[in-house]
Amino acid sequence: MSNNKQIPEVDIVVDEKAGVIREIKPEQKLRSKSGHEKRVNVGIYTILTLMAIIWLAPFVFLVFQSFRSYLTENGGMVNYLLPKTWSLDNYIWLFTDEKSLFLRWYLNTLIIALFNAVLQTVIVLSVAYALSRLRFKGRKLIMNAVLVLGLFPGFLTMITLYFLLKQLGLTQNGAIPGLILIYCASSGMGYYISKGFFDTIPKSLDESARIDGATRFQVFMKIIMPLAKPIVIYTILMAFMAPWGDFVFASYVAFGTTTNYNVAVGLYQWVNVADYQGFFTRFCAGGVLVAVPITALFLALQKYYVEGVTGGAVKG
């Protein structure tokens, strides 16, 4: 092998398909045959495996804890990983005990997420379409302003928003509509990816449809929407997931009114305010149940998700 490197010998191969004679340089031969590539691969996969373990460990831990009974073993932290007996006690408690508000919280979260998925999708797609297709005064200004505003973290507005919502009666008892309002209100700012996707759909399709007799709305619904399926699904997915896992806004808008908590806030109350040692495994069980629908949704729609992100990225 090392000989090959030093003596520049050239192999000649007849490529019948192209009808030419090709030279194969020793370096090329070396690369395809040597164990170098394999060694690199082994290295890469080792690193990837390590990273995967680090990432997955908390989730695996969470799942194991959720099956440890709070009745027969210990409801809090223990110094072993696998439960001694596998039980569904935690899950049963979540759904059946009268002290458990889990179902209520779950339902709250679901309502908020579903409403947001619908409203936010409509808003985001409308904004994106308008900015992609219509030319109006201040268009550039709006886009730049949104870009700058987007650089500030959303919870900077927390205090202001809380007082605004309070004026409208949309905190505590009105926390659910209040949260929907918060999530939707600024959602138009997340138009970038959709706009990028719309930009890749030729404008002449719009024009053709308009000459064919369609109104702008008909063009949007009948031509653009079917062609933008990946981005529509991506937008719905994002709009559903954001409130599903939100903690910051949900915790202070519903502050103190336990029946209006979402799942994240509610579960946190158990380990924070309530008996931390006793509720830990039940907290874990709740966490698993929160992850289930979102994981299922993601797996089912990941094809569109990738298409949406990459499709939109072609022209930003």
Partner 1 sequence: MASVKLEHVKKVYDNNVVAVHDFNLDIQDKEFIVFVGPSGCGKSTTLRMIAGLEDISDGTLTIGDRVVNDVEPKDRDIAMVFQNYALYPHISVYENMAFSLRIRKMSNEEVHKRVTQAAEILGITEYLGRKPKQLSGGQRQRVAIGRAIVRDPAVFLMDEPLSNLDAKLRNQMRAEIILLRKRIDTTFIYVTHDQTEAMTLGDRIVIMKDGYIQQVGTPQQVFETPKNLFVAGFIGSPQMNFLKADLVNKGGQYAVNVQGITVPLEAKHNAILNQKQVKPMPVTLGVRPEHTTLCFDDVSNAIESTVSVNEMMGSELHLHVVTKAGDKVILRIPTIDLTDSQRASLAYGNKLYFNFPGKVMHLFDPKTEESLLYPGD
Q: Which residues bind partner 1 (CB under 8 A)?
A: 135, 202, 204-205, 207-215, 218, 222-223, 226-227
Q: What is the rounded distance in angstroms from the CA atom of residue 302 to the CA atom of residue 315?
A: 21
Tokens of 271: 């380990």
Pick between residue 209 and residue 237 the one whose CB is nearest to partner 1.
209
- Which of 173, 208 has the CB closer to partner 1? 208
Q: Quick check: 70 and 282 in contact, CB under 8 A?
A: yes
For helices 263-272 and 102-133, angle between their N-to-C axes, nearest 10 degrees: 140
Shortest distance (Å) from residue 138 CB to partner 1: 12
The residue among 53 and 205 lying less far from partner 1, judged by its C-beta, is 205
Closer CB to partner 1, 228 or 290, in the complex: 228
Distance of alpha carbon 230 from alpha carbon 308, whole angstroms: 5
Closest approach of partner 1 to the CB of residue 199, in Å: 16
- Cβ atoms of 281 and 69 within 8 Å: the answer is yes
The Cβ-side half-sphere exposure at 124, using a 13 Å CA radius, reads 30
Query: What is the smallest separation between the CB atom of 191 and partner 1, expressed in angstroms?
Result: 22
Least distance between partner 1 and beta carbon 208 (Å) = 4
- Would you say 127 or 224 has its CB closer to partner 1? 224
Q: Which is nearer to partner 1, 226 or 316 (CB)?
A: 226
Residues in the chain: 316
Minimum CB distance to partner 1 smaller for 208 or for 277: 208
Q: In the bound complex, what is the minimum distance in angstroms from residue 223's beta carbon to partner 1? A: 6
Question: Which single residue is written with the structure tokens 């370096």?
Answer: 27
Q: Which of 110, 227 has the CB closer to partner 1?
A: 227
In the complex, what is the shortest distance from the CB of residue 277 to partner 1, in angstroms, rounded to a whole number?
58
Q: Shortest approach of partner 1 to residue 230 CB, angstroms? A: 12
CB of 134 to partner 1, least distance (A): 13
Q: Which two tokens stand for residue 93?
A: 């408690």
Least distance in Å: CB of 300 to partner 1? 22
Q: Which is nearer to partner 1, 84 or 229 (CB)?
A: 229
